[in-house]
Structure 1
């Protein structure tokens, strides 16, 4: 597939974080960012057959009342997450 160039601007703190992560993964920053965006694009594309089947099963169990869930606060406590990491 042909590749295109696109200029993006990121703040210094974001670049610092990404550079550290790239280094930890033995990648260049450019390669790390390109790989991340390619993976993200695949995730945003049509879901896989397996994923659709899993979701259908979860929805069916939810409708039947047999789906067990865990509150997000319990998950955060279990893994030592004190805040929403997406903020």
Structure 2
């Protein structure tokens, strides 16, 4: 997958805020912006075919009464928490 460069203009105050957040994550501002933009774009993308198939299978098992679920309380109890 190729990459494209884009020039963006932001207010100085915005840059200051983003630089502080980048430092908190031990990232450069450029890296932080790229990470945030890519992460946001992924949230808009369609789920993979594998994920859709897995969810379809879980829905089918739930509708047919074959899906086994456990409460958070039971899971914490099982692992001694």
How does the TM-score come out when normalised to structure 1? 0.54
Q: Which residue of 1 aligns with 2:26?
A: 26
Shift in Å at residue 9 of structure 1?
Answer: 0.4
Shift in Å at residue 46 of structure 1?
Answer: 1.2
Return the alpha-carbon distance in structure 1 between the equivalents of residues 9 and 44 of structure 2: 22
- Number of equivalenced pairs: 53
Return the alpha-carbon distance in structure 1 between the equivalents of residues 41 and 32 of structure 2: 14
Q: Which residue of 2 aligns with 1:14?
A: 14
SS in 2 for 1:30: helix
Return the alpha-carbon distance in structure 2 between the equivalents of residues 44 and 29 of structure 1: 23
Bigger Rg over Cα? 2
Shift in Å at residue 34 of structure 1?
Answer: 0.3
CA RMSD of aligned residues (A): 2.1
Return the alpha-carbon distance in structure 1 between the equivalents of residues 44 and 22 of structure 2: 22
Return the alpha-carbon distance in structure 1 between the equivalents of residues 46 and 4 of structure 2: 22
SS in 2 for 1:27: coil
Structure 2 stretches lacking a partner, 5+ long: 60-81
How does the TM-score come out when normalised to structure 2? 0.57
Aligned pairs for 1:1-87 within 5 A? 1-47=1-47, 49=52
